[in-house]
Structure formats: C-alpha cells, structure tokens
C-alpha cells in the first residue's frame, strides 16, 4: 500500500489496549505486535493470545486494522516452527525482530545483537520463509547495526536474499538507542541496495517529520512508534494533509475519553497494582504535546489506587465536556 502508516512494535508500551485506541482514533494502516519470544520449543497458544488478543478476531483491531505478529529469537528451526503455528492460527504475515536494543534481549541473542551475524539473519529468514505457506509473507525489522554501520547493507541484503518481503529499518544502531538524530540518509542507501520495499522508521514526531523522512529516504511506507504514542492523531493528521491539505489536531478535551477507555482496558488485562503505571507511562509521552497531560501526570504521580485514579480521570473528562 502506498503512503501507509504502520504502528511500530514497542515492548511494554504499544500493547493491545493502546493499539485499539490509536487505530480507533484513525490514520493507521497496519500494526506490528510486541515481540513474542521464541526459545527452544513451541509457543504456548495462551501466550500468543495474551500478547496478540486480536488473533481471536481475524488478526485485526476493532476497526479492522491488520495486526502482524512479531517473533524474536535466534534459533532458525524453532522460529520457523512457531511461524508456521502463527500461520495455522490465521496470521496474515510474520514479522521478525532484529532491532530490539534491550540489554536483556541482546544478552540472550535476540534483537539487534544478531546484526553482527548477517549469516544468522539469512538462516533465520530462510527457515521462516520455508515454514510458511506461500501466501503468508515474512517481514523483518532491523536497525542500522549493533555499534556502527559497517554491516548495514550486508544485513539488509541477507534479509532480502533469504526471502523477506519487506524490511522496516530503524535509522539508528543498537548503541544509539533512541538518541537523536535518526540517520534517515541510511534509509535511502538500504532502499537502493535491496529489491524489496523498505519501511522508514525513526524520529517521526509530527507531520513535518513524516514529509521529510519520506523525502530523504524515498520510502512510501513509514513506521511510527513513540510519535504516535505522544501524538495519537498523528496518523490522522498525515491522512488529512494528504487528502485536503488541512490538519485539525485532537484537543485535550477530545483526547480525555480515549484516556478513560484505555485505562479501563488496561485494568481488564493487568492486576490493579500495575494499571496506574501504564497510564502514567502514556501521560509521560502525551506531555510532549499536551501541557494538560503534564498537569494530570503531576496530579496522579503518587497515586497507586487504581479505583481512585479512574475516578480522577472520569471527573476530569466530565469537567472538560
């Protein structure tokens, strides 16, 4: 799909409730799930359903936006085996994580550490491709490398040559973490090196960033993570700009019901002692664009009672209405 917006997978942040809220706000064409860790053995169906509950509704969010499951691991055989399991469950595609910078993940040969092993990347993608039905694509997400860009193009070629139908590239190395800037010029170099579509990713926080990353990279698809979490209507604004040239940002009053909805969904999924932390996490991101979010965060910073926090949210929404 041309000019598509893909919601990035972000472990511990972009979970099913947030995917639901962001896709209902609109402007998102596809989601990639949080990673499902594969070790030496078959996945538990319950674990898959917990991480990707959309699997029970045709692998789509409530508004019909496709959700592609993502696997993380380093064993080609078991990644292939579990990819086939996902396909049996109806997954429309299987994504592979070669970009996670987390130390605990990298310590266990997962995520971005594999960017030091292009041959392993090839073996994993080839095994997954061979295990999947022809109509189910395998895609991959990578960074520019582990500590430098000396193997960036070799890694991208390994993924494409092994059968990846699409490669999303976060324009930083593992060691860069999320420190600015993202190196968008490398996205163009990767796109020119491989024959499969490349998805641009990294540091898209507003409509202007979206326009620039597309111009610099030459990519028609853009994956956005933190930018959509901090600005929930960013996809919608991009869509509006393309259609009419005008953008009408979501006001704080319009956003508040979504906050309540999100928190209710979170409480259905996690123990009450963990729910306040998830809301505060999202408020921390929203504060980048909404001063009211910072004020609310300051108000609830020390609040640990899930019921009290929900009452504060509801009363704040009513006051703004």
The pLDDT of residue 105 is 82
For residue 9, what is the DSSP state? Answer: P
Do both 236 and 267 map to the same domain?
A: no
Residue 100 falls in the annotated catalytic set? yes
What is residue 160's predicted lDDT score, i.e. its pLDDT? Answer: 98
Name the E strands within the chain.
5-7, 30-37, 67-72, 94-98, 138-145, 166-173, 198-201, 221-224
Q: What is the mean pLDDT of residues 232-260?
A: 89
Cα of 113 vs its chain's centroid, Å? 19
Whole-number percent of the chain with pLDDT over 70? 98
Give the model's pLDDT for residue 298.
94
239 and 256 share a domain? no
Report residue 144 as tokens: 């520019």
Enclosing domain of residue 38: 5-244
Q: How much is the pLDDT for 316? A: 82
Q: How confident is the model at residue 289 (pLDDT cuts 50, 70, 90)?
A: very high
Q: Is the same domain home to 304 and 206? A: no
Last residue of a domain, one of 193, 220, 244: 244
| Domain tally, the chain | 2
pLDDT at 300 over 50: yes
- Of the residues 100, 155, 219, 231, which is catalytic? 100
CATH, residue 46: 3.20.20.70
CB within 8 Å of 236: residues ≥ 6 apart:
25, 26, 27, 250
Q: Binning pLDDT at 50, 70 and 90, where does residue 1 land?
A: very low
Residues 68 and 192 in one domain: yes
**pLDDT (0 to 100) of residue 110:** 87
Do residues 279 and 299 both lie within one domain?
yes
Tokens 């980048």, residue located: 288
Contact indicator for 167, 133 with CB cutoff of 8 Å = no
Does 116 share its domain with 212?
yes
Q: Do residues 283 and 219 share a domain?
A: no
**79-91 pLDDT, tens per residue?**
999 999 999 999 9
Instruction: Give me the mean pLDDT over the 286-315 stretch.
Output: 94
Give the pLDDT score at 101. Answer: 85
Note whether 165 and 262 are same-domain residues. Answer: no
Given 244, 264, 297, the domain boundary residue is 244
Same domain, 240 and 256: no
CATH number at residue 258: 1.20.225
Domain boundary among 207, 225, 244: 244
Residue 5 DSSP symbol? E
Which has more confidence, 171 or 103? Answer: 171
**Residue partners of 80: CB distance under 8 A and separation at least 6:** 127, 128, 130, 131
Residue 249 has pLDDT above 90, yes or no: no
The predicted pLDDT at position 147 comes to 96
The answer on pLDDT for 3 being more than 90 is: no
Return d(Cα 221, Cα 228) in angstroms, integer: 15
Q: How far apart are CA 26 and CA 20, in angstroms?
A: 10
Residues 132 and 225 occupy one common structural domain? yes
305 shares a domain with 167: no
Are 135 and 214 members of one domain? yes
Q: In sequence order, what DSSP letters do the residues of 86-150 get, joined into one string?
A: HHHTT-S-EEEEE----HHHHHTT-GGGGGG-HHHHHHHHHHHHHHS-TTS-EEEEEEEESSSST
User: Does pLDDT of 4 surpass 90?
Assistant: yes
Q: Are 318 and 312 in contact (CB under 8 A)?
A: no
């Amino acid at each position: 799909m041309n000019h598509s917006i893909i919601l990035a997978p972000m472990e511990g942040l972009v979970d099913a409730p947030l995917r639901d809220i962001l896709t209902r706000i609109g402007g998102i064409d596809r989601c990639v799930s949080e990673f499902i860790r594969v070790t030496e053995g078959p996945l538990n169906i319950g674990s898959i359903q917990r991480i990707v509950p959309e699997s029970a509704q045709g692998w789509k969010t409530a508004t019909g936006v496709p959700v592609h499951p993502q696997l993380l691991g380093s064993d080609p055989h078991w990644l292939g085996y579990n990819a086939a399991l996902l396909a049996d469950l109806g997954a429309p595609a299987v994504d592979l994580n070669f970009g996670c910078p987390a130390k605990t993940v990298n310590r266990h040969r997962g995520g971005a550490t594999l960017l030091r092993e292009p041959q392993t990347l090839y073996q994993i993608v080839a095994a997954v491709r061979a295990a999947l039905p022809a109509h189910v694509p395998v895609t991959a997400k990578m960074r520019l490398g582990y500590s430098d860009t000396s193997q960036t193009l070799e890694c991208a070629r390994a993924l494409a040559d092994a059968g990846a139908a699409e490669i999303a590239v976060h324009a930083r190395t593992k060691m860069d973490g999320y420190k600015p800037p993202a190196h968008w010029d490398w996205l163009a170099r990767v796109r020119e090196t491989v024959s499969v579509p490349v998805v641009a990713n990294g540091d898209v926080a507003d409509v202007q960033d979206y326009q620039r990353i597309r111009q610099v990279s030459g990519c028609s698809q853009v994956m956005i993570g933190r930018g959509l979490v901090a600005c929930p209507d960013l996809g919608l604004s991009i869509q509006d700009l393309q259609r009419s040239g005008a953008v009408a940002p979501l006001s704080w009053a319009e956003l508040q019901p979504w906050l309540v909805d999100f928190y209710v969904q979170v409480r259905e999924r996690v123990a009450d002692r963990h729910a306040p932390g998830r809301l505060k996490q999202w408020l921390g991101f929203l504060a980048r664009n909404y001063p009211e979010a910072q004020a609310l965060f300051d108000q609830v910073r020390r609040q640990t009672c899930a019921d009290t926090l929900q009452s504060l949210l509801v009363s704040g929404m009513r006051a703004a209405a």
